[in-house]
Amino acid sequence: MNGTTKTGQHSRNHELAAAQACLRLLHTARAALCPDEPPGTAAVLSGPIAEADEALRRAGLAGNEAWLLDRIYDLGLAPEPRSS
């Protein structure tokens, strides 16, 4: 097991699931909040928000969303600047 315990692997799996849920939320939010979308489109965010909240809770990261987003942005996934 390369020196990892089942508990450590379990925790990393939850952290990975939380990161993936946050990425899905990020991509959905970008699409839903695009200026080309009708005003009510943001309502589609309730499902991804609930999924991300639950995944963060399971990973023990609830309340640390800013830290997690910083780590995601460290991966080079920061929003691209808009062109005018």
Digit-coded pLDDT (tens) for 19-61 = 899 889 888 988 888 888 887 888 888 999 999 999 999 988 8
Answer whether residue 81 is part of any domain.
Answer: no
pLDDT of residue 8: 66
pLDDT at position 51: 94
**Domain assignment present for 71:** yes
In a domain? residue 1: no
pLDDT-based confidence at residue 69 (cuts at 50, 70, 90): confident
pLDDT confidence of residue 5:
47
Spatial contact of 44 and 32, defined as CB atoms under 8 Å apart: yes
Q: How many domains does the chain have?
A: 1
Residue 39: which domain range?
7-75
Nearest Cα neighbor of 58 from 31, 19, 24, 23 is 19
Structural domain contains residue 2: no
